[in-house]
Amino acid sequence: MATMCGWALLDPPIAVAIQGAIDVGVNLIDTAPAYGAGHAEEVVGRAIRGRRDKVVVATKCGVKRTKDDFIRTLEPQSLYHEIDDSLRRLGVETIDLWQIHWPDPKTPLEEALEAILKIKEQGKFRYLGVSNFDIPLMKQARESLPFHGDGPGGRLAPQAHSWHPPCLGSCPGPAGSPDRPVPFGVKAHRPPRLVMGGAR
């Protein structure tokens, strides 16, 4: 769903594909502001209109798309703007899974997580995830902000555990998501289902 990497973004076919996927049982839609400089989120928002209760909406933060480049930033003020922009583009009141897209070497992770916790307390997203984090950063994130994980009160259901590194799937903290799992070989004979918070 992006113009990055030479992929074409064709709004009507993509919206139809998303709706068709929902019809056959796919219930996780993952996007990011960096994909098409926010345009992918707008397409997803239009596609899920009237079907919000059928999908888990996942998007990301921490990467801004410019005309020529991607800028990684987890500065608190940027995060505060990003969440509101994503909510507006997606047309939702709450994002189910908000993921840090890439680490930001210029912003201390603890500082970014403090801002993210404030955003969560405002009810703007339900669960925190990370993408493109190595194991040391995953452990740091889990130690700094353990409000999401496999423990009581907030967890990814067992169906999702195969998407997580085994060494990280059993400890509390933010969830991890793979980068481009289908092109890299994670395929299934039937659409995968991700169930969050026990809802089906």
List CB contacts of 136: < 8 A, sequence separation 6 or more: none
Using CB atoms within 10 A of its CB, is residue 50 exposed (0-12), middle (13-18) or buried (19+)? Answer: exposed
- Phi-psi category of residue 149: left, alpha or beta, with phi > 0 → left and psi -120 to 50 → alpha: left
> Hey, what CATH class is 4-150+162-177 in?
alpha beta
Straight-line distance from the first to the last Cα atom of the chain, in angstroms, rounded to the nearest whole number = 26
* Strands, E assignment, 73-196: 95-100, 125-131, 175-177
Which residue type does 188 have? A
Mean pLDDT of the residues in the chain = 74
**Phi/psi at 140 (nearest 5 deg)?**
-60, -40
Cβ(97)–Cβ(126) below 8 Å: yes
Which residue type does 159 have? Q
- Higher-scoring residue by pLDDT: 86, 146: 86
In this model, does residue 63 exceed pLDDT 80?
A: yes
What's the pTM value of the predicted model, to 2 decimals? 0.71
Catalytic residue, candidates 1, 18, 35, 160: 35
What would the pLDDT profile of 98-155 be if each residue is shown by its tens digit? Answer: 999 999 999 999 999 999 999 999 999 999 888 888 888 888 888 876 544 333 333 3
Of the pLDDT bands very low, low, confident and very high (cuts 50, 70, 90), residue 13 is confident
- Is residue 35 among the annotated active site residues? yes
Q: What is the pLDDT of residue 57?
A: 92
Cβ(154)–Cβ(127) below 8 Å: yes
